[in-house]
Amino acid sequence: MNLMIGDKIKQLRQRDGRKQEELANALGVSPQAVSRWEANGGYPDMEIIPSIANYFNISIDELFGYSRDRQEKLKSILDTAEREINAQGDLTECIEMLRSAANEFPSEPHILIKLGHALNIYGWKKYGARCYTKDGSDYAFEDTAYNADNVYWQEEIRVFEKVLGMDIPPEDRDLITMMTVTAYCKMGYNDKAKSLASKQNSIIVSRELLMPKATEAEERDKYQGEAIIALLSELKNVIADSVGTKVSSATNTESVKLFEDLAHLYESVFSDGRCGIAHFHISELYLHAAIYEARFGKKDVIQAFEYFCEGFKHKKLYDSIAGGGEYRYTAPLVAKVASPSESFPPLSKTFWHGWIEAFPEELKKLIKAEPQFAECFE
């Protein structure tokens, strides 16, 4: 077999602007040895092959020129992982597959990103998270002693810390940073969480807010629409977290009105009912309203049921558009925005389980009595 590893080493060295002496020093060999390899006058010893691959941040397969096979294998692994993660079933085999792939392809951040996501989801499924309240305090606190024992989240943090040191797309970096900060906090690493969070850009210099300022006319209209959609989404997340972690808010009738009013704000922006990805957010707002009405509001189970029906409707609308090609918004404020619906986050088959568990029994009975809601109990 005619291995052209010397040509590959020379190509990689020149790509990175390295001298033969630099590579030799890093590997603990003589510059003459590197020169012989590159002239195809000999091969590196097998024990230093991994060191050469690591030096150039590639896999051993790629070093030997198997890049096409490598790409096909990578694609197969990532596609399989995507299906398993979206299904959110037993991820044991998926995690083992990704761990093995991470060892084989140490410089591939997308393998590590999938592994981190799988570990996060499976950590929730196997152990979940706990929090508690204190007498005399208005706040909910993370049960860090319990959460820190979650071995899947421990590994998730190690994986994402490694990924954040790699060259990855900005959108991946944003999501992983958010997940890492959240994991740090839940497990009691608050200093690390605050340190990582404080290094990020402020909302004022986010892409969503800057692009409208960088453009004009129709292009600006498009970016303004994208900013509205993104800001509404984050506003919903922040308000839901704020209500859920403050006792006086969570047990106050005003929380119901807050969720309902925010849902109405969404419906005003998407005035023609074509809400796109916002169908998911509106659904969650009405489901939050149903929970808080049934448990802490006026405890009007009929009103809570009406909120649930609205949440169910928007969830079904979201299901009907996800994966259906390009989605074009048509309401005035967002009419220039188009998004591939394949990019809308897929919802787990167990989406309803957590919500149904949070409803009191009286509300569950009303929902269960209607055949159209049977999928919520599957």
Question: Residues 186-204: pLDDT tens digits?
Answer: 999 999 999 999 999 999 9
pTM of the full predicted structure? 0.77
Determine whether 166 is exposed, middle or buried from the number of CB atoms within 10 Å of its CB (0-12, 13-18, 19+). Answer: middle
What sections of 92-216 are H helices per DSSP?
Answer: 92-104, 109-126, 144-147, 151-163, 170-186, 190-198, 207-214
Domains 5-65 and 66-200 share a fold: no
Q: Given a cut of 60, is residue 2 above it in pLDDT?
A: no
Q: Given a cut of 70, is residue 68 above it in pLDDT?
A: no
> Tell me, what's the pLDDT at 162?
95
HSE, CB side, 13 Å, CA atoms: give it for residue 172.
17
DSSP count for the chain of H helices, then E strands: 20, 4
**271: helix, strand or coil:** coil
Q: How far apart are CA 313 and CA 289, in angstroms?
A: 14
Nearest alpha-carbon partner for 108 in 159, 142, 74: 74
* Averaged pLDDT, 117-140: 94
Q: How confident is the model at residue 57 (pLDDT cuts 50, 70, 90)?
A: confident
- The chain-wide mean pLDDT, for the chain, equals 92
Q: Given a cut of 90, is residue 58 above it in pLDDT?
A: no
The CATH H-level (homologous superfamily) assignment of domain 5-65 is: lambda repressor-like DNA-binding domains (1.10.260.40)
The pair of structure tokens assigned to 140 is 């909910």
Residue-wise pLDDT for 321-361, tens only, equals 988 889 999 999 999 999 988 888 888 888 999 999 999 99
Residue-wise pLDDT for 283-330, tens only, equals 999 999 999 999 988 889 999 999 999 999 999 999 999 888 899 999
- Host H or E run for residue 142: strand 140-142
> Tell me, what's the pLDDT at 67?
61
Q: Given a cut of 50, is residue 282 above it in pLDDT?
A: yes
Residues 6+ apart with CB under 8 A from 273: none
pLDDT top residue among 329 and 74: 329
Cβ neighbours, 10 Å, residue 367:
22
Domain ranges of the chain: 5-65, 66-200, 213-378
Contacts by 37-40 with C-beta closer than 8 Å and gap 24+? Answer: 37/5, 37/6, 37/9, 38/6, 38/7, 38/9, 38/10, 38/13, 39/6, 40/4, 40/6, 40/7
> Tell me, what's the pLDDT at 1?
37
| Sign of the alpha-carbon dihedral angle for 221, 224, 225, 226 | positive
Among the ranges given (47-51, 61-65, 334-338, 362-366), the one the predictor scored with the smallest mean pLDDT: 61-65
Q: Which fold has domain 66-200?
A: 1.25.40
Q: How confident is the model at residue 63 (pLDDT cuts 50, 70, 90)?
A: confident
Q: Which of 22-36, 85-99, 147-161, 340-354 has the highest mean pLDDT?
A: 147-161
Q: Given a cut of 80, is residue 227 above it in pLDDT?
A: yes
